[in-house]
């Protein structure tokens, strides 16, 4: 079986046109349980991460809730269009291809077990929201981030992640704001839209 076969058989939005997917629940505005057989839905849910996202050229929103994500193909996350990714519960392997999501704006992982964040996580330059509610991260390092992170929030975060460390290479612009060494930009109450450092 192939995903494109299911799409043709049930007249779903083509891979290059679909904008929002949850492989266990919906495909654009179509409820998958209304059109797929139980066997087809089960196959799609369990095999979706075996195929790369690179051909989903219009995909904006991907919800992996209910989808096994502890094993996935090496180039699964290679999408230039994806802006919002979410998953509630289960395990998630963020392989190197995760940092290929160059237009990603929002990450929402709730109660997810993640071994670690990829080392190039800071290259997600358009990221605006990072929600890690009840998410277990075995190794967490925050450095050279493209978005504003307040020092006070880092200190609050550390109490929930015993192995969390703020790398020494990251400097502070003042006592309340973390300096963004990669972008020379930081955020504070006096600069809510961001301020470019001249240093």
Q: Which residue has the tokens 């190039």?
A: 120
CATH of domain 3-139: 3.80.10
Which two structure tokens, joined as six digits, stand for 63?
């919800």
pLDDT (tens digit per residue) in 68-116: 998 899 999 999 999 999 999 999 988 889 989 999 999 999 888 887 7
Indicate whether this model's pTM tops 0.75: no
The per-residue b/e assignment along 188-197, b for 16 or more CB within 10 angstroms, e otherwise, is beeeeeebee
Share of the chain above pLDDT 90, in %: 49
Q: How sure is the predictor about 136, in pLDDT bands with cuts at 50, 70 and 90?
A: confident
Pick the residue with more confidence: 152 or 125?
Answer: 125
- Asked if the model's pLDDT at residue 179 lies above 60, the reply is no
Residue with token string 């493209």: 146
* Interacting residues of 125 by C-beta distance below 8 A, sequence separation 6+: 102, 146, 183
Would you call 48 exposed, middle or buried from its count of C-beta atoms within 10 A (0-12, 13-18, 19+)?
A: buried
Q: How far is 87 from 66, CA to CA, in rounded Å?
A: 8
**Which residue in 121, 66, 112 sits closest to 93, CA to CA?**
112
| Residues ≥6 apart with Cβ < 8 Å to 53 | 59, 62, 76, 77, 78, 79, 82
In 3D space, the residue among 44, 54, 137 whose CA is nearest the CA of residue 93 turns out to be 137
**CATH 3.80.10-classified regions of the chain:** 3-139
């Amino acid at each position: 079986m192939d995903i494109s076969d299911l799409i043709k058989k049930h007249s779903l939005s083509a891979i290059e046109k679909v904008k929002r997917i949850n492989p266990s629940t919906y495909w654009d505005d179509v409820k998958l349980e209304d059109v797929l057989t139980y066997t087809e839905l089960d196959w799609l849910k369990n095999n979706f991460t075996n195929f790369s996202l690179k051909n989903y050229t219009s995909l904006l929103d991907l919800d992996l809730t209910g989808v096994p994500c502890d094993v996935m193909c090496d180039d699964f996350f290679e999408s230039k269009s994806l802006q919002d990714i979410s998953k509630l519960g289960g395990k998630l392997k963020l392989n190197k291809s995760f940092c290929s999501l160059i237009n990603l704006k929002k990450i929402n992982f709730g109660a997810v077990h993640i071994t670690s964040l990829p080392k190039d996580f800071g290259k997600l330059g358009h990221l605006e929201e990072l929600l890690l509610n009840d998410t277990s991260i075995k190794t967490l390092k925050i450095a050279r981030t493209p978005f504003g992170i307040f020092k006070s929030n880092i200190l609050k975060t550390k109490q929930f992640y015993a192995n969390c460390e703020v790398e020494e290479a990251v400097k502070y612009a003042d006592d309340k704001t973390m300096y963004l060494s990669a972008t020379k930009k930081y955020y504070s109450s006096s600069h809510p839209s961001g301020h470019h450092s001249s240093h």
